[in-house]
């Protein structure tokens, strides 16, 4: 709950979120920040980022209020300490070893979020602070050039100045430079705050096995789904490793039946498409895209065959031809029959997924449809049969196939199979300890070199065969 500010959600996604400060005025820098998110982020991401920044500002204002109640005016050093304590406040609250986190938690109880959620919040805050500092600098330059006039409130609250009619004296201009923006409350500016906010308590990443659907049970799951539409949809996710929102938003033109290929395209690349223009503004705001680096997909069997077979059955027996839009997947019940399926309630789709998992007798409590994407990544990384007789693609190739911009994301989604790693470890231990006596490091290096020479000789022999 916010105590000092009020967060106002827009009526549709083309308007920014707004934040009302303690004095009942809109905070200009927050609106600039919210507008900057509209073009590049989905409505859900904008909601998370704006709420994160609003709660952060409210936390700082509560800290300042507590200091004032004790007869102490918060200094730059105090603000820096409060920022440093924010991660502790979010994660552990009153049980924190941080005095500030525990103090603020007494009047503004912490929600005790996970370290991962705190890291997301800090990412939003860093983005806000950097933008606010840039805006502050631009306003000052315009003021010096007498292009605009700035009206600075006498309030010590560290927010962006608003445009007004009164000229700004040099003393007030200096106050803007040092105190008016959140990013410059601390001497040293945004770089110092950025460094302060970087260390969150995320800790070492531990893979949660519930993230990955058991690969050998995916067929059972697909067979238990209630409709041909759902069978085609989840076969597409399992067979290409795409995100559920990427699959549920495909258009008929994205499917190449003859070549059995699927393209995944960002809505931003075709904003004036007739199917998008058919939607209301609020409905268009629900179109998601997380930033897939490629439109190409890599469809693996048997899910590719299942998809095209179930797609044909879906179009023949369930699909309602209406001509209003070309979204492949549509709702099949209620008042929304024939409308794009991505507009349906996400909780309704998750219920279908969980019920089907239970009907298939799968004992693991899976997180949701995204578990199929994890299963796809693990399969490619560990089991995919290659022409050279080996199994598993390189991390770089899996990154490209899954559409990740950075390899670090692939490392999270596509972990190495623990059973395979255990087998490799047992084999290595058996080689190292021969007859109860461990090999020396030189002997192990020699074995590795012999293995590499054998591979090169085999490769040369194969090359000679192809040249004959």
Distances (CA, A) of 429 to 194, 338, 421, 439: 46, 60, 12, 10
Would you kindly state where each structural domain of the chain is located, as residue ranges? 6-197, 214-399, 417-467
Alpha helices in 145-243 (DSSP H): 170-175, 189-197, 218-224, 228-240
Residue length of the chain:
468
Long-range contacts of 188-197 (CB under 8 A, 24+ apart): 189/133, 190/129, 190/130, 190/133, 192/80, 193/80, 193/83, 193/129, 194/126, 194/129, 194/130, 196/80, 196/83, 196/84, 197/83, 197/86, 197/122, 197/125, 197/126, 197/129
Domain 214-399 class in CATH: mainly alpha
Q: Each residue's pLDDT tens digit in the chain (468 positions)?
A: 788 889 998 876 667 888 888 878 887 778 888 888 876 777 778 889 999 999 998 998 899 889 888 888 877 778 888 888 899 999 998 888 889 999 999 999 998 988 888 888 988 888 887 777 676 666 566 666 665 454 444 333 344 333 333 343 444 344 433 333 344 433 344 444 444 444 454 444 455 556 789 888 999 999 999 999 999 999 999 999 999 999 999 999 999 999 999 999 999 889 899 999 999 888 888 888 877 888 899 999 899 999 999 999 999 999 998 889 999 999 988 788 899 999 998 889 999 999 999 999 998 778 789 999 999 988 888 888 887 777 788 888 888 888 887 777 777 765 666 666 666 666 666 655 555 555 565 666 676 677 778 878 887 888 788 776
Long-range contacts of 193-200 (CB under 8 A, 24+ apart): 193/80, 193/83, 193/129, 194/126, 194/129, 194/130, 196/80, 196/83, 196/84, 197/83, 197/86, 197/122, 197/125, 197/126, 197/129, 198/122, 198/126, 199/87, 200/87, 200/115, 200/118, 200/119, 200/122
Neighbours of 292 (CB within 10 A): 18
């Amino acid at each position: 709950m916010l105590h000092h500010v009020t967060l106002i959600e827009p009526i549709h996604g083309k308007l920014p979120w707004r934040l009302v400060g303690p004095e009942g005025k809109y905070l200009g820098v927050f609106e600039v920040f919210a507008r900057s998110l509209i073009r590049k982020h989905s409505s859900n991401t904008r909601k998370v980022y704006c709420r994160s920044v609003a709660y952060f500002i409210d936390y700082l204002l509560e800290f300042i209020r507590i200091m004032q109640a004790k007869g102490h005016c918060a200094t730059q050093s105090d603000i820096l300490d409060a920022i440093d304590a924010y991660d502790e406040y979010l994660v552990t609250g009153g049980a924190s070893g941080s005095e500030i986190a525990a103090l603020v938690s007494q009047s503004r109880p912490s929600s005790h979020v996970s370290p991962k959620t705190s890291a997301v919040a800090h990412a939003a805050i860093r983005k806000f602070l950097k933008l606010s500092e840039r805006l502050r600098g631009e306003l000052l330059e315009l003021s010096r050039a007498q292009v605009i006039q700035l009206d600075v409130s006498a309030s010590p609250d560290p927010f962006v100045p608003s445009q007004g009619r009164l000229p700004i004296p040099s003393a007030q201009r200096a106050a803007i430079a040092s105190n008016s923006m959140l990013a410059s409350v601390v001497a040293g500016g945004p770089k110092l705050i950025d460094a302060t906010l970087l260390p969150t308590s995320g800790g070492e990443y531990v893979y949660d096995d519930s993230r990955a659907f058991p690969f050998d049970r995916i067929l059972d799951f697909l067979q238990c789904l209630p409709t041909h539409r759902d069978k085609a949809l989840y076969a597409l996710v399992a067979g290409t490793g795409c995100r559920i929102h990427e699959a549920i938003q495909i258009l008929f033109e994205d499917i190449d039946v003859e070549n059995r290929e699927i393209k995944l395209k960002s809505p931003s690349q075709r904003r004036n498409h007739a199917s998008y223009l058919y939607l209301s503004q609020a409905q268009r705001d629900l179109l998601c895209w997380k930033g897939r680096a490629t439109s190409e997909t890599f469809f693996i069997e048997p899910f590719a065959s299942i998809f095209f077979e179930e797609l044909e059955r879906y179009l023949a027996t369930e699909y309602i031809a209406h001509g209003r839009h070309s979204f492949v997947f549509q709702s099949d019940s209620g008042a929304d029959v024939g409308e794009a399926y991505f507009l349906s309630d996400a909780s309704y789709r998750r219920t279908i997924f969980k019920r089907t998992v239970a009907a298939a007798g799968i004992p693991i409590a899976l997180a949701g449809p995204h578990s199929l994407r994890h299963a796809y990544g693990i399969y490619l990384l560990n089991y995919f049969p290659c022409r050279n007789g080996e199994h598993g693609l390189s991390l770089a190739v899996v990154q490209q196939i899954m559409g990740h911009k950075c390899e670090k994301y692939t490392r999270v989604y596509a972990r190495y199979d623990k059973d395979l790693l255990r087998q490799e470890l047992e084999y290595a231990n058996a080689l190292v300890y021969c007859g109860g006596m461990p090999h020396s490091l030189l002997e192990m290096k020699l074995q590795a070199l012999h293995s590499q020479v054998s591979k090169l000789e085999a490769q040369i022999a194969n090359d000679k065969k192809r040249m004959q």
